[in-house]
């Protein structure tokens, strides 16, 4: 008996890749079918023009299908026919539509069916016939609507023509004909389904509007009226019965007489009625919040977007989603297998976590793609078992930061994301961070000393308790580094390195007090505290992400450098500098003390492309205010050996001291003149970022809906319908508060941000 496979009904109606997998499995469309279609390409290509003419001849033979061409086609800007009789093969719009049909026919026989973008193309073909924009470059054009019945019978007619063409070839073996016809039949049914899914509403989705609409109101008001009856009305009954007939005797106030006293019961009843009415309306919102929360949780489970949803589908489809949603492979000159491109992205993410001491070297080996030999001795890429056996603890430590980041990354790719464009075409953006007196880098004294005489816990001990796995990974790496530069001291009893020799590593992270070892401990602690270094280290991942995407999507460029890694790295850095700028607005930089100055210099040496905007002052004329300048330096600025400060690249005189009103906003304002690009991201000096999130930058910038600009002039065509939609000017993102394990206040702040965004 055949084993039964589970198919998530809601998933195949919302996730195109899941639907494509289900379709291909059900009708058994496999590599042999794709090979049969590719083999039939020489047969079909010469017949494409004749087949397209035959299709339109058939469409012209019925008035109901001929009338479809009276509507302007998506993307067509020429002259339309005025009556049915004017529509023929020489009409401008018919020629336009014929070209699209020819492209589709060739695509059917030449497409790579292992590429998720093939099914995206077929799906967009279906969308564009429903009156919606199937392709992004056409989404602002006039819509096209074709009834589903016409689409279905047209596919059947095309299939019959292709069947006749294949059967008419006497030079083909019978088994080749059979394989080709089966493949054509299957791919036509796939295309037919990708038409139907946009016309026919799935049964499961019909309950959604009622559950979130009418049924929700029934639940809210049902609970409200029940509560009002049992807790307000019934408790109000007896006081009303008593007070309605109450008569207050012996009233005789000196100034007002008995006016107030005799009507005391009436006044009391009025106040009670008013309070009951207030409570009656207030609890409506209470029940709205309760039932909205319940329905949201149920809906999240149904869509698979809940954080408690089993991760089977999310991790299993992660490689395909990386390829389909994060990589712009449409313009690649050389086509590579998706696994080759995805492996570079995934391995870079895992290595970045290893460098942050989130993963041990053993876990890294289990999580990475590796080269292996197949049965025939050819080199191939072996995907990690993590994608199919993610429940095992051999891949990710439960509850670790690595598990949280990877699970969030995988879940975020299940959402609808704007399609990325190539790195060369993506807009330039700047990240601006305001800084006043926040800690830049923790000193060794701050890490290993006790806070005060009443505590015996140092900051390092506290961080070690919060991040035990990361501390163990850090100690292992430090010991390896120490072994490379120093010989371990033997244990006096055994003559071999012992546990006592490792004690300094596990206590303070180093055994030698040399600067390179103490600095490693300072950096490890700073990356887990609220420091500016943590923010800069995270945001500079944008540059790494841009270089990674540029290298992965341009393999011909890598080959052109012929192994010259230095020249390749310069080209990657050039592209990263062109697309990304990072600026820190340090208004107090000129007044830093020695420690702060050393820490700022360390940042400039670690990240030479980071820019620092600061306020500089010069004495003014006698009796006048000092002159204030907005200055800019970076790691490439010349260092003055006497003052130990860098010479500004730009120095702009300001009309006065900008820090007059709101310090933080004015600190940003004076530095905003140094920003470059179309977009500006503002973050605080206590936030972080990760490589896997930075890889989504092109998708994020796509949310501004400016990748496809209008061809209309906003000045001459201000009232055009393309400008009716309000532009996206501000884009917000939920912040991850990393203080959730530090204390009750940090936990509340983190929970508030995670719940309400």
Q: Which of 80-84, 472-476, 653-657 has the highest mean pLDDT?
A: 472-476
Split at pLDDT 50, 70, 90, the class of 65 is confident
The pTM assigned to this predicted structure is 0.65
DSSP assignment letter at 618: E
H/E stretch holding 611 reads strand 610-618
Same domain as 191, residue 44: yes
What is the reported pLDDT for 206?
A: 41
Same domain as 650, residue 742: no
Give the mean pLDDT of 349-362: 95
Residue 487 has pLDDT above 70, yes or no: no
More confident residue, 260 or 487: 260
- Number of structural domains in the chain: 6
Whether the CB-CB separation of 354 and 361 falls below 8 Å is answered with yes
Among 190-199, 228-237, 483-492, 679-688, name the one with the lowest average pLDDT.
483-492
Taking the CA of residue 299 as centre, how many other CA atoms within 13 Å lie in the half-sphere pointing to its CB? 14
d(CA 697, CA 427): 10
Same domain as 717, residue 701: no
Residue 697 has pLDDT above 90, yes or no: yes
Q: Which of 226-240, 587-601, 727-741 has the highest mean pLDDT?
A: 587-601
H/E stretch holding 651 reads strand 650-654
Side by side, which strands form the sheet with 627-634? 650-654, 627-634, 610-618, 580-586, 429-435, 679-682
d(CA 101, CA 85): 22
Residue 624 has pLDDT above 50, yes or no: yes
Among 43-57, 91-105, 553-567, name the one with the lowest average pLDDT.
91-105
From the list 596, 614, 669, the residue with the least C-alpha distance to 437 is 596
Same domain as 253, residue 189: no
Same domain as 65, residue 18: yes
Give the mean pLDDT of 526-552: 95
Split at pLDDT 50, 70, 90, the class of 144 is low
Residue 632 has pLDDT above 70, yes or no: yes
Give the mean pLDDT of 156-167: 90
Same domain as 519, residue 504: yes
What is the reported pLDDT for 185?
A: 93
Split at pLDDT 50, 70, 90, the class of 667 is confident
Cα-Cα-Cα-Cα torsion 229, 230, 232, 236, nearest 10 degrees, comes to 100
Is 554 domain-assigned? no
What is the reported pLDDT for 665?
A: 83
Residue 371 has pLDDT above 70, yes or no: yes
Give the mean pLDDT of 255-279: 79
Is 431 domain-assigned? no
Q: What angle do helix axes 541-553 and 532-539 make, rounded to 10 degrees? A: 10
What is the reported pLDDT for 490?
A: 44
d(CA 717, CA 723): 9
Split at pLDDT 50, 70, 90, the class of 8 is confident
Average pLDDT, the chain: 82
d(CA 94, CA 96): 5
* Distances 121 to 103, 107, 125 between C-alpha atoms, Å: 11, 9, 6
Place of tokens 């969308």: 127
Same domain as 594, residue 479: no
Is 332 domain-assigned? yes
d(CA 127, CA 196): 10
- CATH number, domain with residue 113: 1.10.490.10
Q: Which of 214-223, 251-260, 300-309 has the highest mean pLDDT?
A: 214-223
Q: What are the tens digits of pLDDT across the range 276-295?
A: 888 888 888 888 889 888 88
Percentage of the chain surpassing pLDDT 90? 33
Is 3 domain-assigned? no
Out of 303, 327, 343, pick the residue that ends a domain.
303
Residue 694, phi then psi, degrees to nearest 5: -70, -25
Structure tokens given for 552? 């992965």
d(CA 378, CA 373): 5
Same domain as 136, residue 279: no
Residue 551 has pLDDT above 90, yes or no: yes
Out of 146, 170, 200, pick the residue that ends a domain.
200
From the list 159, 162, 163, the residue with the least C-alpha distance to 192 is 159
d(CA 16, CA 326): 16
Split at pLDDT 50, 70, 90, the class of 458 is confident
Among 205-214, 341-350, 631-640, name the one with the lowest average pLDDT.
205-214
Say which residues have a Cβ less than 8 Å from residue 292's Cβ, sequence separation at least 6: 216
Give the mean pLDDT of 113-117: 88
Residue 610 has pLDDT above 80, yes or no: yes
Split at pLDDT 50, 70, 90, the class of 115 is confident
Split at pLDDT 50, 70, 90, the class of 208 is very low
Measure CA 255 to chain center: 74
Is 540 domain-assigned? no
DSSP assignment letter at 136: G
Place of tokens 């490439």: 636
Same domain as 31, residue 90: yes
Give the mean pLDDT of 59-79: 68
Give the mean pLDDT of 137-154: 69
d(CA 665, CA 495): 63
d(CA 1, CA 527): 56
d(CA 625, CA 620): 6
H/E stretch holding 140 reads none
From the list 455, 733, 424, 737, the residue with the least C-alpha distance to 574 is 424
Structure tokens given for 54? 């035959």
Residue 497, phi then psi, degrees to nearest 5: -60, 130
Residue 386 has pLDDT above 70, yes or no: yes
Residue 491 has pLDDT above 50, yes or no: no
* Distances 47 to 52, 178, 251, 616, 660 between C-alpha atoms, Å: 9, 20, 108, 74, 76
Percentage of the chain surpassing pLDDT 70? 80
Same domain as 282, residue 353: no
Long-range Cβ pairs for the range 738-743 (8 Å, 24+): 738/688, 739/530, 741/466, 742/466
Same domain as 719, residue 694: no
Give the mean pLDDT of 680-693: 91
Same domain as 723, residue 679: no
Long-range Cβ pairs for the range 555-560 (8 Å, 24+): 555/332, 555/334, 555/336, 556/333, 556/334
What is the reported pLDDT for 753?
A: 64
Which residue range is the domain that position 358 belongs to? 312-412
Whether the CB-CB separation of 723 and 710 falls below 8 Å is answered with yes
Q: What angle do helix axes 148-167 and 48-60 make, rounded to 10 degrees? A: 140
């Amino acid at each position: 008996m055949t084993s039964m496979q589970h198919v998530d009904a809601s998933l195949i109606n919302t996730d195109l890749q899941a639907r494509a997998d289900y379709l291909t499995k059900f009708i058994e469309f496999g590599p042999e079918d794709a090979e049969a279609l590719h083999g039939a390409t020489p047969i079909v290509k010469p017949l494409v023009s004749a087949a397209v003419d035959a299709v339109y001849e058939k469409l012209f033979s019925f008035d109901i299908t001929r009338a479809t061409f009276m509507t302007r086609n998506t993307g067509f800007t020429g002259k339309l026919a005025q009556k049915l009789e004017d529509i023929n093969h020489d009409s401008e719009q018919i020629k336009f539509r014929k070209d699209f049909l020819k492209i589709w026919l060739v695509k059917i026989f030449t497409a790579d069916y292992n590429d998720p973008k093939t099914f995206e193309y077929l799906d967009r073909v279906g969308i564009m016939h429903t009156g919606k924009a199937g392709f992004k470059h056409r989404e602002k054009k006039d819509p096209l609507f074709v009834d589903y019945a016409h689409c279905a019978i047209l596919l059947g007619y095309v299939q019959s023509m292709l069947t006749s063409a294949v059967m008419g070839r006497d030079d083909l073996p019978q088994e080749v004909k059979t394989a080709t016809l089966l493949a054509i039949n299957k791919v036509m049914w796939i295309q037919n389904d990708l038409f139907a899914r946009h016309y026919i509403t799935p049964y499961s989705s019909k309950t959604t509007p009622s559950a979130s609409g009418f049924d929700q109101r029934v639940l809210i008001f049902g609970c409200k009226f029940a509560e009002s009856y049992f807790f307000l009305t019934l408790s109000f009954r007896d006081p009303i019965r008593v007070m309605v007939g109450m008569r207050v005797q012996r009233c005789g106030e000196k100034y007002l007489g008995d006016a107030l006293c005799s009507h005391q019961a009436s006044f009391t009843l009025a106040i009670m009625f008013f309070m009951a009415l207030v409570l009656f309306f207030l609890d409506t919102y209470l029940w709205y919040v309760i039932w909205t929360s319940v329905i949201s949780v149920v809906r999240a489970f149904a869509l698979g977007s809940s954080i408690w949803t089993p991760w089977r589908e999310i991790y299993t489809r992660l490689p395909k989603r990386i390829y389909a949603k994060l990589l712009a492979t449409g313009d690649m000159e050389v086509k590579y297998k998706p696994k080759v491109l995805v492996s570079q992205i995934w391995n870079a993410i895992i290595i970045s976590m290893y460098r942050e001491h989130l993963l041990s070297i053993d876990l890294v080996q289990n999580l990475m793609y590796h080269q292996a030999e197949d049965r025939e001795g050819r080199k191939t890429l072996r995907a990690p078992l993590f994608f199919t056996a993610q429940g095992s603890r051999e891949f990710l430590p439960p509850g670790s930061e690595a598990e949280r980041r990877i699970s969030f990354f995988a879940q975020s790719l299940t959402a609808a994301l704007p399609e990325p464009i190539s790195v060369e075409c993506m807009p330039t953006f700047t990240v601006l961070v305001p800084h006043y007196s926040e800690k830049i880098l923790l000193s060794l004294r701050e890490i290993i000393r006790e806070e005060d005489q009443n505590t015996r816990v140092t900051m390092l001990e506290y961080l070690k308790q919060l991040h035990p796995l990361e501390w163990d990974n850090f100690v292992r790496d430090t010991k390896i580094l120490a072994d490379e530069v120093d010989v371990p001291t033997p244990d006096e009893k055994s003559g071999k390195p012992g546990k006592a020799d490792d004690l300094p590593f596990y206590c303070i992270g180093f055994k030698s007090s040399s600067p390179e070892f103490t600095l490693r401990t300072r950096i490890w602690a700073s990356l887990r505290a609220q420091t500016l270094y943590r923010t800069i280290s995270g945001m500079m991942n944008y540059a790494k992400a841009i270089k990674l995407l540029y290298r992965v999507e341009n393999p011909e460029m890598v080959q052109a450098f012929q192994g010259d890694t230095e020249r390749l790295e310069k080209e990657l850095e050039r592209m990263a500098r062109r697309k990304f700028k990072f600026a820190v607005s340090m208004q107090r930089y000129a007044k830093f003390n020695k420690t702060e100055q050393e820490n700022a210099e360390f940042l400039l040496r670690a990240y030479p492309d980071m820019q620092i905007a600061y306020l500089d002052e010069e004495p003014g004329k006698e009796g006048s205010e000092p002159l204030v300048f907005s200055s800019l330096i970076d790691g490439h600025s010349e260092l003055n050996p006497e003052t130990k400060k860098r010479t500004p690249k730009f120095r702009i005189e300001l009309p006065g001291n900008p820090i007059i009103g709101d310090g933080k906003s004015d600190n940003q304002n004076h530095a905003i003149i140094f920003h470059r690009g179309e977009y500006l991201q503002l973050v605080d000096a206590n936030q972080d970022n990760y490589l896997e999130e930075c890889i989504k930058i092109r998708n994020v910038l796509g949310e501004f809906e400016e990748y496809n600009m209008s061809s209309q002039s906003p000045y001459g065509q201000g009232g055009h319908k393309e400008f009716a939609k309000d532009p996206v000017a501000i884009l917000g993102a939920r912040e991850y508060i990393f203080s959730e394990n530090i204390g009750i206040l940090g936990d509340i702040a983190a929970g508030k941000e995670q719940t309400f965004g």
